[in-house]
Structure 1
């Protein structure tokens, strides 16, 4: 009897979509190791391996654009539109190629986050397409007007062919989808002993004075690291290898090999030694970031306060910022406060969440369970 095959299509934008899709893939693998995972993505393999401990196949393909950016806040709309048109013009060829791959490899189900073409691919292949997200790319593009409206209409038509959407928290209406299931927060969980992490990285400051700086896979140009020198009794953690060498700034590589890095961490032989932002979160008094679902979701799952810079002209950002204002201890700061100020916000009290009700944190497990149930019975 052949193994069930799951085709996971991940949007070609940053690291956040890859992180949340990989966290679901890891849960699927844990629930049923017989399911063969095929990750269809341009995300680097080391990032996927940092979430998925077992074997999987990577098919390097890009079915969408997301937003072309030079860093986590700077968007290039002109190039985004040009690349979007190229994908739309090539859609028949893309679909035909993927249908051949799906039939050859006996794929049973597509799970997508959230390239629009995944749904037409599945329909042409005669298998279901399930998606997971808190927004669709039509929602991002439509406010930009002009030719982006035509692109948004095309994307909405693709989404209308999706069989089931798992709608994540902090979402837009996603009304193009005919069948919506609301779920809780997705993301990875810390997997190392906190005392080990403290010892290995020399984290000696009290928790309230340990800060994680994380701005997604694209990073952020011109972070004013010089401000850190004003907080000599604090410790800051960054994954930015271009950051300066300051005594209170710890630079972490997110992509160590399985043999070279942290021999004293409590790992099973099958686990990668990659260290992820979420692994540091339990030790931190706050996370400083830009609006991004995966960072916010993992911080909320862990319970660490969030400091976010605002982001203009990206329709998802207000939803995310409203979400952390409702659900997390937080600070929301302007780009001027972050880039040009002296970071006095670190000395100010965090704002409490506006809502008392807790937010469900089981989205990863709920989506994975539904996929496993389907593949075991198809």
Structure 2
């Protein structure tokens, strides 16, 4: 039996959604594999998405991200710095605990997206480790705070990874001693677009717009949006969000395969994030992306989306006053961009990941 420990970032659900797709493929290829998954915030989402006998999901705090100012898209530097320092202070205990876990469960391979401490665990124990991401927390925190003892320690942890599999929308990732660029990774669409639109009462002549900000902001942020009066337009949002206008459909609260709901839309209006953007590309959906100030990954993703001509950045003001609705009349211009995507955005990166896993196991 091959024992794998997969560490999934606690920040948002984008890391978890792509890692669920990866783990499903690993399990289909390795019947004798046992996958232990360590994560905290997405714990229930991951467990419900992977109800398999050879998967064990363990609620573990792995990492932190950034904190935003109240009802704002701007990073709160002071609160983020405090949280970063608290996280670093917990590393020694975390590393010792994970070493005991990996030894007890005879772990053969460690994957991390993209908590840095597991690479220290792997290196100390002589376990092969693979990083999977489009960015590192060193990149995020260095761009916020410069070189500090915290960012130096994070950098040193990443340097101990055996190889990094670099997803699109990426930074240079030169922090890793070995790296390999791979194609886009996202969950498969498993329900026909026409069928799910029929179930939700969306006619062929209606435009459906997904509007969401994930878990980055408080629900009150979206309640500040200006009401939209538009004929033949309906809106889709997540179960925990509230939109202050009519014709709103919510994704069911217990639904894990949210990519199927996104795929029935005509336009994505969302905070910038790998999970939503990758699933929008899979469904060939134009997107208007809310840029968060101080979170460097947004620039990696949004600038590339604009470069590919499949969407555009929008400001906080434009998002909240819903000026973007006027641009929805020109979606065909963005839809054409999907015909010109390069292979890295067209191909499926999961077989490429499996190829690397097979090399090292």
Q: Same fold (TM over 0.5)?
A: yes
User: Is the CA contact (8 Å cut-off) linking 2:10 and 2:42 kept in structure 1?
Assistant: no
Shift of 1:96: 1.3
Shift of 1:333: 1.4
1:83 corresponds in structure 2 to 83
SS of aligned partner of 1:253: coil
User: Is the CA contact (8 Å cut-off) linking 2:20 and 2:49 kept in structure 1?
Assistant: yes
User: Is the CA contact (8 Å cut-off) linking 1:241 and 1:252 kept in structure 2?
Assistant: no
- What does 1:199-214 correspond to in 2, within 5 Å? 199-206=198-205, 209-214=207-212
SS of aligned partner of 2:180: strand
| Aligned-partner Cα distance in 2 for 1:18–1:6 | 16
Shift of 1:363: 1.3
Structure 1 unmatched ranges of 5 or more: 257-273
- What does 1:13-162 correspond to in 2, within 5 Å? 13-49=11-47, 51-52=49-50, 54-55=52-53, 56-69=55-68, 73=73, 75-145=75-145, 149-162=148-161
SS of aligned partner of 1:64: coil
Shift of 1:126: 1.8
Count of residue pairs the alignment pairs up: 353
| Aligned-partner Cα distance in 2 for 1:122–1:24 | 20
- What does 1:326-337 correspond to in 2, within 5 Å? 326-337=307-318
The answer to whether the aligner puts 1:305 opposite 2:286 as a matched pair is yes
Shift of 1:52: 3.0
- What does 1:181-260 correspond to in 2, within 5 Å? 181-206=180-205, 209-218=207-216, 221-223=220-222, 227=226, 229-243=228-242, 247-256=246-255
| Aligned-partner Cα distance in 2 for 1:23–1:328 | 26
Structure 2 unmatched ranges of 5 or more: none
Shift of 1:67: 1.6
User: Is the CA contact (8 Å cut-off) linking 1:110 and 1:118 kept in structure 2?
Assistant: yes
Cα RMSD for the two superposed structures: 2.5
1:315 corresponds in structure 2 to 296
| Aligned-partner Cα distance in 2 for 1:140–1:110 | 23
User: Is the CA contact (8 Å cut-off) linking 1:134 and 1:170 kept in structure 2?
Assistant: yes
Shift of 1:149: 3.1
User: Is the CA contact (8 Å cut-off) linking 1:212 and 1:237 kept in structure 2?
Assistant: yes
SS of aligned partner of 2:330: coil
Shift of 1:283: 1.9
1:261 corresponds in structure 2 to none
